[in-house]
Structure 1
Amino acid sequence: MRKQTKGYIESLLEDYPKYYDYVKQREYELRHPYIPVDENVGGGKAQFKKNDVQDRILITIEEDRRLNNLRREHYAIKTCYDEASSEVRKIVDELYFKSPRLRKYHSIYDLCDFKIIKLSRPSAYNYWNKFLQEIADELGLRY
């Protein structure tokens, strides 16, 4: 797997616990867009314009590329995490789902040394790489 792809997937794993915050923020941005003040004094605006704001907001939320990518990434990580072994789940929980202040271990090497996961280092890295490849396949990334 390429180093950039691995780094991208690891950054997605670090952002996974904040997924709902990102979705809420993006939906707020779509519902309340910034509209610049029109300082043009004069005609040009129709008086009896049809108000279809609700329809436009729904269409915008459904078709938003960033929001759909967030959902796709969340679904891919969730399905791969649910299908992963308990050892891989421990790795993900310890290294990516915990907040940085609460982390005691910083690598798979540390997890193996302190017997948090009951695998040898090479087999732990093999399981980890298979997990990353499953996520890459689910997202349609080349590795």
Structure 2
Amino acid sequence: MSDKFKELEVKLSKYKWYLKEAKQLELSIRYPYQLADGNVGGGKSSGGDNDKLLSTLIKIDENEVLNKYVKIGQAIERTFAELPEHLQEAMMEFYINRKGHYRGHPKRCAAKLNVDVSTLYRWRTEIVTEFDRQLQKDEKNKEES
């Protein structure tokens, strides 16, 4: 297996992690922890940004880590949508639904899918190839804009 194949498989298997981290980053930008400004009089504080929603949206849009996680998650979702049903099932079993200490174990997944381990490997190769194609599409779109 090549290093790129392994790297792409790691990204695929971290799908739920990317979703969770992206949500946490977005929430931390939308609702940052703020110290009290000392305004105890009940009136408006003086100065400051009057358009907090716009500045929050700009911060979300410009956060590179958040954008990276969202793009990887979207590429994984597009990959799933493009695959035939048997590959979708293999993708869910091998990469997405990773529970227990046998998670991502080729022999266990192959048995659960009722296929040979070599067949599962071919399917994994097809899934990773499609995922790479989706990521390349993102890069191409990024360069064009």
String of CA shifts for 1:103-142, please: whole Å, max 9, x gaps. 57711x4444x37244x4444322321220121121129x
Segments of 5+ residues of structure 2 without an aligned counterpart are: 37-45, 138-145
Looking at both structures, which has the greater relative contact order when contacts are Cα pairs under 8 Å and sequence separation is at least 6?
Answer: 1
Task: Give me the TM-score of the superposition, normalised by structure 2.
Answer: 0.68
Alignment correspondent of 1:2: 2
AA at the equivalent of 1:99: R
String of CA shifts for 1:19-62, please: whole Å, max 9, x gaps. 4422220112212346689xxxxxxxxx5455333221111112
String of CA shifts for 1:57-94, please: whole Å, max 9, x gaps. 11111222122112211121111112212332222222
Task: Give me the TM-score of the superposition, normalised by structure 1.
Answer: 0.69
Segments of 5+ residues of structure 1 without an aligned counterpart are: 38-46
Alignment correspondent of 2:130: 134
Mark the CA change 1:31 to 1:105 in structure 2 (over 3 Å): closer, same or farther.
closer
Mark the CA change 1:50 to 1:92 in structure 2 (over 3 Å): closer, same or farther.
closer
- For this pair of structures, how many residues does the alignment match? 129
RMSD: 3.1
% of aligned pairs identical? 23
After the TM superposition, which residues 1-143 of structure 1 pair with which residues of structure 2 at under 5 Å, given as runs? Answer: 2-3=2-3, 5-33=4-32, 48-101=47-100, 103=102, 106-107=105-106, 109-112=107-110, 114=111, 116-118=113-115, 120-140=116-136
AA at the equivalent of 2:127: F
Mapped contact 2:94–2:105 kept (Cα < 8 A): yes
